[in-house]
Amino acid sequence: MNRNRTAAERVEKWNRRYTADHVKTIIDNEKPTFLQNNTASTNDLVAHEQATKTVLNDQGVSVALVADYLSFSRQVWKLKGIYSGETLRKAVATRIGTWVDRNLAQPVLEAIRDTVYTIGAPTP
C-alpha cells in the first residue's frame, strides 16, 4: 500500500524513532563495532606517525618542524582512506604543494609520501 502520509504522521514516526531509549539501544548494540573500528584506525594512524617520525629523524628535520610534518602525514593518511590510485597521488601532490608554500622541504614531504605511504608521484 503506497499512500501519502500527512505531516503529523511523519512527525509522529520521527518521534518514535528518536526517543532516548530507542537511540540508546541502537548505540549499545553498535558500540563494540564502533570501538573495534576506532581502535583499528587509531593503531594504523599511530603506526604511520611513528614511521613519519623515523623519516624525519633520518632526514635531520628540526624538532620545531616535526608538528607540521606530522600534520602533513595525517592529511595523507586521511586522503588514503578516501581515495586510491591516480586520484590519491594527485591529491597528495596538491598537499605537498600546500606544505611547500608553508616552507616545508619538498624532498622531506616526498620521502614521507614514498616511504611511509608508498604512494609515489602522480603521472604527468
> What is the Cα–Cα distance from 99 to 86, expressed in whole angstroms?
20
Which pTM was predicted?
Answer: 0.80
For 5-59, write each residue's pLDDT tens digit: 899 999 998 888 888 888 899 899 999 999 999 999 999 999 999 999 999 999 9
* Average pLDDT rounded to a whole number, residues 95-108: 98
* DSSP classification of residue 65: G
For 64-87, write each residue's pLDDT tens digit: 999 999 999 999 999 999 999 999
Locate the domains of the chain by residue range.
7-116
109 contacts 73 by C-beta, under 8 angstroms: no
Q: Under 8 Å CB-to-CB from 95, ≥6 apart: which residues?
A: 72, 75, 76, 79
